[in-house]
Amino acid sequence: MADCASEDLNSVSHSPSPPARDVIRGETEERGRDDSVGVPGEVNEEKTTPDPNSTSWDGDNDPENPKNWPESKKWGLIVLLSFITFLTPLASSMFAPGVPEVMAEFKSTSDTLATFVVSVFILGFAFGPLLLGPMSEIYGRQPVYNICNILFVVFTALSGVATSMGMLIAVRFFAGVFGVAVITCGGGSISDMMPPEKRGRAMAIWSVGPILGPVVGPVVGGFLCESKGWRWVFWVLTIVSGVVTVAALLLMKETYAPVLLARKAARLKKEQGSKADSQDSKHGVSIREKDILLRSITRPVKMFIFSPIVTAMCVYIAVAYGLLYILFTTFTFVFSDQYGFNSSMAGLSFLGSGVGTLGGLLYSGILSDRSIKSAIKGGRQPRPEDRLPLNIIFPAALSIPAGLFIYGWGADKRVHWIVPEIGTACTGFGMIGIVMCIQTYLVDAFTIHAASVIAASAVLRSLFGALFPLFGLDLYSKIGLGWGNSLLGFIALGLAPVPLIFRLYGERIRTKSRWQVNF
């Protein structure tokens, strides 16, 4: 470990850097208009692309630089990415109201399987980012998105023709693996295009998908399952995702600067008729790419282990996400048993979380960029910690446990159903606020490795989201809805100070850490 000792883990520059000087030199240290953030550790040992020449943008206003694209083009891509980010989590829980039908058709009575057939999709979310995030930093975002979108459609269609519980679980797992691509790389794409003062709003729109998708899914799925049967859930998902996949094939553009600069270098060499290094390329590219791929795959793990910022934030989001998925996978059973809801009504029980999520999205999205703009107007260089404003993280962190207490005891005592719905709305409000702030903070702190740091977060978050629900029904059956959700609420309350700590001491942790790791 002595080799890792250094003064600085995540050095952040607080003086303006020369704009639009992105240079392919190993893991490119991108400054450009992201001059509020820095790249952790030493990042110039390797090449992210096979081109050996240094290449830069043609001045500050080079139209090929994604940060200089027209606003309509940027926001068009962000809307497309956000819709896909909404669609894939939608598939995670859309057929949850139909689980009783699935269990009856496949003659299973296991409570564990009843929740696992829903949450296994999220388990796929845990494995996909380890490969997809790093691949997007080697070959670009566009091919990763398009290939994964096509495979997601394939495995969603296979879910609709499943002939056994085992087959359904398997194909849903692989649908999750490939469906997570945009969730893993979307933050990186936003970082590629948007300057810090506009990034919060874009991240807010993009972040709502993983939270709102599992909420809206069961509402639609409840009516579909009751009128057409559970298989129609997958047919509808296949049709919609197929249309979106075709749109992405036609409209999606590459945004990752190192890949675009590599293409530019290759084009210039071709135009100049240069054949230099051709022999080296024939013999060296494959070996170098293998080394780069291995290093890129291990980067999210290294970031999680060696960066205290990534570790703490990922654990917090993961636990909160796991608690939320306990609710998502048990709403149908709780509202059916406590209030006598049928499949369609059980689906509507998810609306409370949806309303809270939309409220949290509007609240957080407006205030997030305001703190960055305020710093710029005051003549101060924005810091990643500005993404953790007290007026967002404080109410959001407390809303999660408060909502769990209200939901648990309201359902336990069978008071009017609006009371537990208010509780789930509070939880949804807090979740979107925390997720948006933390993900934007991580993107700003690790700009060039945004996809990798989001991958590190997605892996742990998805593992908890898949595994926590396995004990949800057992927890409720043993100690009741009131105390069961109170226990979950106390866990969320214990973790609430985490974003506050990094708001106050995050810069010191980043700049004064004893450990420095070459990510």
Query: What are 163-194's pLDDT values in tens digits?
Result: 899 899 999 999 999 998 888 888 788 888 98
pLDDT at 242: 94
User: Who has greater pLDDT, 8 or 204?
Assistant: 204
User: Who has greater pLDDT, 209 or 488?
Assistant: 488
pLDDT at 175: 93
**367 backbone dihedrals φ, ψ, rounded to 5°:** -80, -25
Alpha carbon 117 to chain centroid distance? 22
How many residues are given for the chain? 519
Q: Give the lowest-confidence range in 47-51, 65-69, 221-225, 334-338.
A: 47-51
* pLDDT surpassing 50 at residue 12: no
Query: How does DSSP assign 108-145, residue by residue?
Result: ---HHHHHHHHHHHHHHHHHHHHHHHHHHTTT-HHHHH
* pLDDT surpassing 80 at residue 343: no
Burial tier of 515 (Cβ tally within 10 Å: 0-12, 13-18, 19+): middle
pLDDT at 463: 83
Return the structure tokens found at 454.
Answer: 């989001």
| % the chain with pLDDT above 70 | 82
* pLDDT surpassing 60 at residue 296: yes
User: Who has greater pLDDT, 501 or 38?
Assistant: 501
pLDDT at 518: 53
pLDDT at 351: 82
Q: How far apart are CA 473 and CA 476, in angstroms?
A: 5
* pLDDT surpassing 50 at residue 50: no
Mean pLDDT of 143-167: 93
* pLDDT surpassing 60 at residue 513: no
* pLDDT surpassing 70 at residue 45: no
Q: How far apart are CA 74 and CA 187, in angstroms?
A: 13
Q: How far apart are CA 166 and CA 453, in angstroms?
A: 33
pTM as predicted = 0.68
pLDDT at 467: 80
Return the structure tokens found at 438.
Answer: 């933390």
pLDDT at 293: 67
Q: Is the dihedral of CA 127, 128, 129, 130 positive or negative?
A: positive
Tell me the average pLDDT of the chain.
77
User: Who has greater pLDDT, 450 or 102?
Assistant: 102
* pLDDT surpassing 80 at residue 514: no
How far from 56 is each of 22, 24, 60, 192, 263, CA to CA, in Å? 6, 7, 10, 15, 11
pLDDT tens for each residue of 383-428? 888 888 888 888 999 999 999 999 999 989 989 989 999 999 999 8
* pLDDT surpassing 60 at residue 433: yes
Domain spanning 66-256+300-512: which superfamily? MFS general substrate transporter like domains (1.20.1250.20)
The one-letter amino acid code at 501 reads I
How far from 421 is each of 404, 418, 426, CA to CA, in Å? 10, 5, 9
Residue with tokens 């595994």: 467
End-to-end CA distance of the chain: 15
pLDDT at 211: 67
Query: How does DSSP assign 215-259, residue by residue?
Result: HHHHHHHHHHHHHT-THHHHHHHHHHHHHHHHHHHHH-----HHH
* pLDDT surpassing 60 at residue 137: yes
The one-letter amino acid code at 138 reads I
Top-ranked range on mean pLDDT: pick from 286-290, 327-331, 404-408: 404-408
How far from 254 is each of 135, 192, 248, 348, 448, CA to CA, in Å? 13, 10, 11, 39, 15
> DSSP label at 21?
-
Short-list 89, 80, 75, CA closest to 431: 89
Return the structure tokens found at 445.
Answer: 């702190």
pLDDT tens for each residue of 215-264? 777 778 878 888 888 899 999 999 999 999 999 999 988 988 888 888 88
| % the chain with pLDDT above 90 | 17
Q: At 499, is the pLDDT very low, low, confident or very high (cuts 50, 70, 90)?
A: confident
Return the bridge partners of 515, or none: 5
How far from 504 is each of 11, 39, 76, 389, 510, CA to CA, in Å? 17, 21, 36, 10, 12
How far from 50 is each of 66, 133, 282, 437, CA to CA, in Å? 21, 19, 11, 35
Helical axes 418-445 vs 181-193, angle rounded to 10°: 50
